[in-house]
Chains A and B, each alone.
Chain A
């Protein structure tokens, strides 16, 4: 299957490895995943534990990134926040990509009126500015992390549907698919076994960009009160809680914001690298 995904390679090293920025993105995400997994082991303190005697302390040897307005350790909250952000990225992209891929496969392979209806449906979802619809959805379902993830997935699936459909349309007429069809293979097997694997490359590129996008949207929703709720240690919530202290105790918002920036940038770098690797025509143009 790997052969079908890669295009003629000029160097023995895969293209993504030739780009130091892509490697940097991968390393950043690996570190972040490690931090998220081992949070209980490496966090110096309980992220929810309030020590009112040490409120709003600037970064020091005892609290590397300082303490917040309730005396909680900012570094520990940041470390636990990594878990939520990665979880959001994985769940949202997983949901959106599964639904979108399914819709795209059905629309592209079935064609006709079903295709028309499904594509108009993606048009409708495309028309909503993502955050506004997500806000309406999490407002309607009640603000929580789960509902925020559902809301972001609802606005993210159409792009996968269109991507997969476009791929299916071009693959459907390929000789090997026609061969399978003429041998009497059932539609489901042709789609699953012959078409789907060949749509994975552009999906992967889209997914890595969307991981970052989902993390940004979820943090935005939390910030305005429609996502993760306090006192949970989440980066968007932390920025929101530090909002009133921005001029005097800037570290409260500064560090979680930097964490979001680095994480999203890392996913974007990986997306760029994958796109260049999978489509050499675009190499270095992004």
Chain B
């Protein structure tokens, strides 16, 4: 199968998945036992107010018609009005997304920068001390409750030592940088405001560490096992026999090929980062989608919950699409049949 026809097939699959996702998020709001109109207006609302509310949000229409309204609106980028913040959900998502993106991206970059070398070192030092250390640290990373880790980090680095801030995106006495990308680190650099930059880096460190530990562990494990496999291949032996330096054989020949399966893992890890962001943001008072999702779900704010769920699914599906296409590009031997 050629790359364009592979891409086309993946795009069709992508649209099908998005339709399925919208059906599930929509269906979820209909199994809710509580009446959203009463939840939004409070117990003291009059019948007329409740009726008007239902009319306004189409809550009194038949279910298929409600779904149709929902999907048509989605296609136009209209995710409805948040019952809680009373603002368009799309606007809320735009508002909160950059914070989550900045946090997840930093966590992902940290876990790639640490996980890949850790996996390579672990594989090349198999059954020796560095290997044991990496394996134990990754075992803990794959098993630790992220919210607990966050709490312990706050308790130690903020509560006990006072070295790092325990929450928020930037120091409260430093004005946030002018909005360009929504990423405080990038925007402050663009504005030349180094004070704001350092403050946002400081604030990013602990939550990104807590969030990234799990994916670091997964990436290190995957890199280790694919390195072990690659190290036994003929071309590695050939490179060694040729008298190439050990470091060059490992990094130039083996690690590059061992990276291919690891790339897929990185795509899958992205989903766990989004899930983890919900917990991390709650712990670190990080004003992102995760915290928005939690407070929306508590308030039975379905349009908001559906919006976050949809966006998360969209981002995750897109990330995997990009990874799969990247995979095809990285390894020309793969032909999708």
Interface string of B19-62 (1 = CB under 8 A from A): 01100110011011100000000000000000000000000000
CB–CB A136/B278 < 8 A: no
Expressed in whole angstroms, the Cα–Cα distance for A219 and B279 within the complex equals 11
CB–CB A133/B309 < 8 A: yes
Beta-carbon contacts under 8 Å, A219-242 to B:
219-220, 223-226, 236, 239
Between A and B, 29 residue pairs with Cβ closer than 8 Å are A125-B24, A127-B317, A128-B313, A129-B312, A130-B272, A130-B275, A131-B275, A133-B24, A135-B297, A136-B28, A136-B306, A139-B297, A139-B305, A140-B29, A141-B31, A212-B143, A216-B143, A220-B278, A226-B297, A239-B151, A246-B154, A257-B145, A257-B151, A257-B152, A268-B139, A268-B142, A285-B225, A285-B228, A285-B229
Interface string of B106-145 (1 = CB under 8 A from A): 0000000000000000000010000000000001101111
**A206 → B minimal CB distance (Å):** 14
Pick from A43-51, A52-60, A169-177, A259-267 the stretch touching chain B.
A259-267
**A116 → B minimal CB distance (Å):** 10
CB–CB A132/B278 < 8 A: yes
CB–CB A268/B297 < 8 A: no
How many chain-A residues does the 8 Å CB contact rule pick out?
49
Closest 5 CB pairs of A and B: A247-B159, A124-B20, A139-B297, A257-B148, A131-B275
Closest to A253 in B: B151
Q: Chain A residues near B266: list those with CB within 8 A.
A: none
CB–CB B143/A239 < 8 A: no
**A222 → B minimal CB distance (Å):** 10
Q: Chain B residues near A261: list those with CB within 8 A.
A: 140, 143-145, 148
Expressed in whole angstroms, the Cα–Cα distance for A243 and B298 within the complex equals 19
Interface string of B277-313 (1 = CB under 8 A from A): 0110010000000000110011010100110110011
Expressed in whole angstroms, the Cα–Cα distance for A135 and B316 within the complex equals 17
Known A-B contacts A131-B278, A247-B155; the reply to A136 vs B145 at CB < 8 A is no
A121 at the interface (CB under 8 A from B): yes
Known A-B contacts A120-B17, A120-B20, A260-B148; the reply to A223 vs B313 at CB < 8 A is no
B143, B158, B279, B309 interface centre (most CB from chain A within 10 Å): B143
B147 at the interface (CB under 8 A from A): yes
New A-B pairs, 6, CB < 8 Å, besides A253-B151, A257-B148: A131-B276, A132-B274, A141-B32, A260-B145, A265-B139, A268-B143
Q: Chain B residues near A141: list those with CB within 8 A.
A: 31-33
Q: Chain B residues near A129: list those with CB within 8 A.
A: 271-272, 274-275, 312-313, 316
CB–CB B17/A247 < 8 A: no
B203 at the interface (CB under 8 A from A): no
Known A-B contacts A127-B313, A131-B279; the reply to A225 vs B146 at CB < 8 A is no
B169 at the interface (CB under 8 A from A): no
User: Interface SS of chain B: helix, strand, loop or mixed?
Assistant: helix
Closest to B311 in A: A132
B160 at the interface (CB under 8 A from A): yes
Q: Chain A residues near B225: list those with CB within 8 A.
A: 282, 285-286
Expressed in whole angstroms, the Cα–Cα distance for A282 and B298 within the complex equals 44
Q: Chain A residues near B20: list those with CB within 8 A.
A: 120-121, 123-124
Q: Chain A residues near B271: list those with CB within 8 A.
A: 129-130
CB–CB B21/A239 < 8 A: no
Closest to B317 in A: A127
**B262 → A minimal CB distance (Å):** 13
Q: Chain B residues near A285: list those with CB within 8 A.
A: 224-225, 228-229
Expressed in whole angstroms, the Cα–Cα distance for A182 and B151 within the complex equals 62
Expressed in whole angstroms, the Cα–Cα distance for A131 and B297 within the complex equals 12
Closest to B274 in A: A129
Known A-B contacts A128-B21, A247-B159, A254-B152; the reply to A142 vs B33 at CB < 8 A is yes
Q: Chain B residues near A131: list those with CB within 8 A.
A: 275-276, 278-279
Q: Chain A residues near B229: list those with CB within 8 A.
A: 285
Expressed in whole angstroms, the Cα–Cα distance for A109 and B234 within the complex equals 39
**A275 → B minimal CB distance (Å):** 11
Q: Chain A residues near B151: list those with CB within 8 A.
A: 239, 243, 246, 253, 257
**A56 → B minimal CB distance (Å):** 15
Expressed in whole angstroms, the Cα–Cα distance for A137 and B26 within the complex equals 11
CB–CB A224/B275 < 8 A: no
Q: Chain A residues near B309: list those with CB within 8 A.
A: 128, 132-133, 136
Q: Chain B residues near A282: list those with CB within 8 A.
A: 225
Q: Chain A residues near B13: list those with CB within 8 A.
A: 120, 123
B16 at the interface (CB under 8 A from A): yes
Known A-B contacts A120-B20, A124-B20, A124-B21; the reply to A269 vs B139 at CB < 8 A is yes
A6 at the interface (CB under 8 A from B): no
A250 at the interface (CB under 8 A from B): yes
Q: Chain A residues near B278: list those with CB within 8 A.
A: 131-132, 135, 220, 224
Q: Chain A residues near B317: list those with CB within 8 A.
A: 127
Expressed in whole angstroms, the Cα–Cα distance for A137 and B30 within the complex equals 11
Q: Chain B residues near A225: list those with CB within 8 A.
A: 294, 298
Expressed in whole angstroms, the Cα–Cα distance for A140 and B301 within the complex equals 10
Interface string of B244-277 (1 = CB under 8 A from A): 0000000000000000000000000001101110
Expressed in whole angstroms, the Cα–Cα distance for A243 and B144 within the complex equals 16
Expressed in whole angstroms, the Cα–Cα distance for A129 and B25 within the complex equals 13
